[in-house]
Structure formats: C-alpha cells, structure tokens
Amino acid sequence: MYTKKRCVAMLLAGGQGSRLYALTKNVAKPAVPYGGKYRLIDFPLSNCTNSGIDTVGVLTQYQPLVLNEYIGNGQPWDLDKMNGGVHVLPPYETQAGASWYEGTANAIYQNMRFIERYDPEYVVVLGGDHIYKMDYSKMVDFHVANNADCTISVIDVPRSEASRFGIMICDENNKVTDFVEKPKEPKSTLASMGIYVFSWDKLRKYLIENENEANAKRDAGQPWSKDFGKDIITSMLRDGQRLYAYEFEGYWKDVGTLDSLWEANMDLLSPSVPLDLYDPSWKIYSRNSNMPPQYIGDNANIENSMISEGSEIDGTVDFSILFSGVTIEEGATVNYSIVMPGTVIKSGAVIEYAIVGSDSVIESGAHIGKSPEQVENRDDWGIAVVGHNVTVSENKVVEPKQIIGESI
C-alpha cells in the first residue's frame, strides 16, 4: 500500500564526472566532498527535505559503492520514511535483458514503476552536482500557477558565459519559446540549471515516446539519444506544450570541473557570496563522522578558513577549506586550498591553490601547486590536484594544473 504523493523527486546521480579526473576515480560525482563536511548530494537531498519533498529516487550507475553507503537509509536527511523516503535506483535486469541507463531520460524511463507507486501529480528532476539552496515547493507552485506541463529553473548568467549552458528563450510571461544547448551566439542569458518540474502524465507520455523513437532510430542504424535537454524538452516544445522558465535568484554553482569545484569551495569564504551554511531554517544535512571537536594548537595560524570536526591544526592555514579529521602539522602551510577528510599534511609541506583528496599524505618538504603570480605564463596556471589515498613523498613538487592519481 503506497500513499499518494503530490511530488516525487528523481535525482540523476549516475554520471561519471570525468572532468573531475582523480577525484572521481572510485566515487560517483555526487559523492565528491564539498564545503568542509558535505558531499555534493547533500545539497539536493537537503533541499528536498526542506522543501517538503519526502520521496526521492536516486539514479546511480557509475562507481556507486561510496555513494550508496553514504545515502544509506537516508536518515541524515530525514528521508528514512515508512512511506516514501530515499531509494537508490541502480540499473537492473529484466526478462527482456539488462541494460545500463542510456541517458538521463532513459534512467527515469526505466524507473517509471517506482514513480507510479506514489501516483504523483508532479515529478521534480534534479542533478547531483550543483551547489545551491532552493525551495522546490515554490517552483512547483509556479508550475501549478502557470498551468505548465514542464517548468525549468533558470539562472541569469553573464553573456560571456552563456555559451557554456543550455539557454532558454522566453516571452514576457516566462513562457519558453526556444531552447538551445550551448549556443555559439546566445539569444538570451537564462541558463538551465538542470532542475525540472514536470506534470507526471506529460513526462510519462514523452518518456515513452522518446524511448520508442530512439529505439526505432537505433534499429534503423541512425543516431539516437535519450536525454532530458536534448530530447524531452525539445519534443515538448515542438508539440507546443506549456514550458515555463522559473527564474532562480541566489547562489548556484555547477561543480563539473576541478576549477569550478575549487571556486565553489572558495566562494564559501567570500562574505559577498550568498550561500549561508549556518541558517538554522534551511540546514544542509550530511552524514556525521562522530569525531571530537577540532583542536587548534599553539603554533597554528588560521585566517579566513573553514575547518571541520576531528581536525588537528598546528600549521598555517589561510583561505582554505579543511574537512573532518585533517592533520596540519606544525610548520606546514595551506593557502587557497581544499584538503579532504583524513588527509595529513606533514611539517614543512606547502599546499597552494590545490585540491588534496581524502586519506592522502603529503610528506614534509613536498610542494603542491603555486599561486598565479608565481607562474610566468598565466595560461600555464591552474589548480593542482592530488587524488584520494595518494602519498606525495618528501620534497616532491606537484605543478599547477598537474593531477596526481597515484602515489609519487
């Protein structure tokens, strides 16, 4: 017996996140650590809970071990419900055979039975790799008020960046008239945030249509795809369905690349960035590591940084984000960097403009990254990255832009 839910959320968490390289070698992108004590998926899951959405399907595919373990029964997000709650939905085998998720639309198509159990009016489709706080219930209200078939949340981006996004062209009532994926010459600056509200009957219809059409094309040897932006939205526009753009005002950051992941962390240290992790009315929940408070030693020198539980800091930390259980020894320096859980930075090591993955060891005298000023040609500069469970031995140097996935 399943009670009817007004809204079910489907969270697309199967992507590989290949542009995060060493950081997603063994973990799915939504499980990548962020912000001192979170993982990326904490943001959409917490947003769901805070928005009153208590039924969430998480579609996983790539390297799901850490992500599955992290989500568990959903209790940290209050999503351990008798009816509803969070459910991890991996690809599965049927009598007709087994197939991986063949695109974002196909992932939801394969889990239509999950959605139908709750007989929802609306389905909210979310990504697992964006940092933002958003009340989805307001977006659903907007969807209902416009009698829309699909509502896409958009954010106004600088014109110079618009060609990186899916761009919505709207009329004066926010009705979407056209959609262009990564246009060379953007006609609007309203970028899709990858957050959709669909009326379930409409989504269902288009998922089935897309599936059948794409399979027919495949059988005929033609190019095919089963994708939300590319196929579902395009078909709905073609058929004159009511698509609306919901303009979001607030902090939103795509963390698809190493640079943007680093920036999104640094944003937390900027007083001008409107992402408040300390607002008791909209907490971002995470699975807790049960560690004692952080200890700051006699020799520590910490400014403008965020540090989490279980860390022991006796070195110099400036403009950095340190996760739980990090050790910074006396005489070590960490500037403009992110150090993920359980990592040890030994005395005399220097970390600058870098991301160091979890449970790694940076031996003394090692030097990771450089500041942009120290690099002659600005094009040679970028974030230095050390992956998870990596040892960088004494006096080794990791240059800007270098990515270290194995111990050196």
Which residues sit at the interface with another protein, rule CB under 8 A? 35-37, 75-76, 277-278, 283-286, 288, 290-309, 312, 317, 321-322
Measured distance CA(192)–CA(153) in Å, rounded: 6
Name the E strands within 110-269: 122-127, 130-132, 150-156, 166-170, 176-181, 190-199, 243-247, 252-254
Q: Which is nearer to another protein, 20 or 302 (CB)?
A: 302
Q: How far is the CB of 295 from another protein (least distance, A)?
A: 6
Measured distance CA(126)–CA(132) in Å, rounded: 12
Residue 58 contacts residue 86 (beta carbons within 8 Å): yes
Q: Which is nearer to another protein, 49 or 104 (CB)?
A: 49
Q: How far is the CB of 366 from another protein (least distance, A)?
A: 24
Query: What is the DSSP pairing of strand 33-34 with strand 130-132?
Result: unpaired
Q: How far is the CB of 310 from another protein (least distance, A)?
A: 8
Q: Which is nearer to another protein, 301 or 393 (CB)?
A: 301
Q: Which is nearer to another protein, 169 or 300 (CB)?
A: 300
Which residue from 56, 54, 64 is spatially nearest to 30, judged by alpha carbons? 64
Q: Which is nearer to another protein, 125 or 355 (CB)?
A: 355
Q: Which is nearer to another protein, 301 or 374 (CB)?
A: 301
Q: How far is the CB of 88 from another protein (least distance, A)?
A: 20
Q: Which is nearer to another protein, 25 or 283 (CB)?
A: 283
Q: How far is the CB of 390 from another protein (least distance, A)?
A: 21
What phi, psi does 109 have (nearest 5°)? -55, -45
Q: Which is nearer to another protein, 141 or 276 (CB)?
A: 276
Residue 316 contacts residue 299 (beta carbons within 8 Å): no
**Residue 220, burial from CB neighbour count under 10 angstroms (0-12, 13-18, 19+):** exposed
Distances (CA, A) of 24 to 31, 32, 218, 305: 9, 7, 31, 25
Q: How far is the CB of 301 from another protein (least distance, A)?
A: 8
Q: How far is the CB of 336 from another protein (least distance, A)?
A: 14
Q: Which is nearer to another protein, 199 or 308 (CB)?
A: 308
Q: How far is the CB of 38 from another protein (least distance, A)?
A: 9
Measured distance CA(60)–CA(15) in Å, rounded: 8
Which residue from 5, 131, 102 is spatially nearest to 57, judged by alpha carbons? 5
DSSP state of 48: H
Name the E strands within 200-286: 243-247, 252-254
Name the E strands within 52-171: 55-59, 85-89, 93-94, 97-98, 122-127, 130-132, 150-156, 166-170
Q: How far is the CB of 132 from another protein (least distance, A)?
A: 15
